[in-house]
């Protein structure tokens, strides 16, 4: 019996991928190479530090650890400037409605995100209080596909992993949920999220009835 839903943030609740992309592209351009929207797909669900490593590899650029840290911080200041201007109308279709439906039905809700900026985003779009637990990049040490973020979410909610459904748009995130012994609803394309139990185009397609069929 499903007792809780755990949601990824970027790409499931809000579409922040575009802001990540703009900030990384600005950094790449400053370093003298381009970074395309196609390249950006590789960064979904990936940590800030790992994202930078991937971008430097794309540009064929090598940087020492100290400078990598500076570059990641610079990108983040640009990103934070953009998400600081987010408004509630940037919540993806159906996300807020499904969170409310879960809580009305007595299900627990948690956030399970790799982002260290999740609190600011939730605050800006005004849905912080719809989560019973928030586990993000500040609380975990192992990145998705390691299940740590979702296992911690289940523990904070006081439920078993087998009683949780995870909602994820990234391949690594879907794998993290499955590695944690949870049901996973992929948000995106079935051809991409092959390990998910079901794949939907968005939370606007999700219903409470679907939960118990997983």
User: Mind telling me the catalytic residues?
Assistant: 8, 10
Token pair, residue 29, equals 């351009």
The site that binds ligand BG6 (CB under 6 A) totals a number of residues, namely 17
When asked if residue 47 is in the footprint of ligand BG6 (CB under 6 A), the reply is yes
State the chain's maximal CA–CA distance in angstroms.
Answer: 53
Burial class (CB in 10 A: 0-12, 13-18, 19+), 23: buried
124 in a known ligand binding site: no
For residues 65 and 25, what is the distance between their CA atoms, to the nearest angstrom? Answer: 20
What string marks each residue from 150 to 169 as x (binds Mg ion by CB under 5 A) or -? -------------------x
- Tell which one of 59, 94, 137, 202 touches ligand BG6 (CB under 6 A): 137
- Euclidean distance between the first and final Cα of the chain, in Å? 10
Q: Which residues lie below 8 Å from residue 211, measured CB to CB, with a gap of 6+?
A: 2, 5, 107, 165
Strands (E), the chain: 4-7, 108-112, 133-135, 164-168, 183-187, 198-200
When asked if residue 202 is in the footprint of ligand BG6 (CB under 6 A), the reply is no
User: Residue 188 binds which one of Mg ion, ligand BG6, none, with CB within 5 to 8 A depending on kind?
Assistant: none
When asked if residue 13 is in the footprint of ligand BG6 (CB under 6 A), the reply is no
8 in a known ligand binding site: yes
4 in a known ligand binding site: no
- Cβ proximity to ligand BG6, 9 vs 206, nearer residue: 9
Q: What is the dihedral of CA 34, 38, 43, 45, to 10 degrees?
A: 160
When asked if residue 6 is in the footprint of Mg ion (CB under 5 A), the reply is no
When asked if residue 179 is in the footprint of ligand BG6 (CB under 6 A), the reply is no
- Tell which one of 25, 44, 124, 178 touches ligand BG6 (CB under 6 A): 44
114 in a known ligand binding site: yes
Q: How near is the Cβ of 11 to ligand BG6 at its closest, in Å? A: 6
Catalog residues that contact ligand BG6 under the rule CB under 6 A: 9-10, 20, 43-48, 51, 76, 113-117, 137
């Amino acid at each position: 019996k499903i007792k809780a839903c755990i949601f990824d943030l970027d790409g499931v609740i809000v579409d922040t991928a575009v802001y990540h992309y703009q900030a990384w592209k600005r950094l790449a351009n400053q370093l003298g190479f381009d970074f395309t929207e196609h390249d950006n797909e590789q960064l979904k669900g990936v940590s800030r530090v790992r994202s930078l490593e991937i971008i430097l590899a794309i540009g064929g650029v090598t940087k020492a650890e100290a400078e990598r840290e500076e570059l990641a911080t610079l990108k983040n200041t640009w990103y934070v400037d953009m998400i600081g201007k987010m408004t509630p109308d940037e919540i993806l279709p159906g996300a807020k409605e499904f969170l409310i439906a879960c809580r009305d039905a007595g299900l627990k809700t948690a956030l399970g995100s790799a982002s260290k900026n999740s609190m600011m985003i939730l605050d800006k779009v005004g849905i912080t209080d719809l989560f019973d637990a928030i586990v993000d990049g500040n609380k975990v040490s192992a990145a998705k596909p390691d299940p740590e973020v979702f296992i911690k979410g289940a523990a904070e909610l006081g439920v078993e992993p087998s009683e949780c459904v995870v909602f994820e748009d990234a391949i690594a995130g879907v794998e993290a949920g499955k590695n944690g012994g949870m049901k996973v609803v992929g948000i995106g394309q079935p051809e991409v999220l092959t390990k998910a139990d079901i794949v939907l185009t968005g939370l606007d397609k999700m219903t409470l009835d679907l939960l118990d069929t997983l």
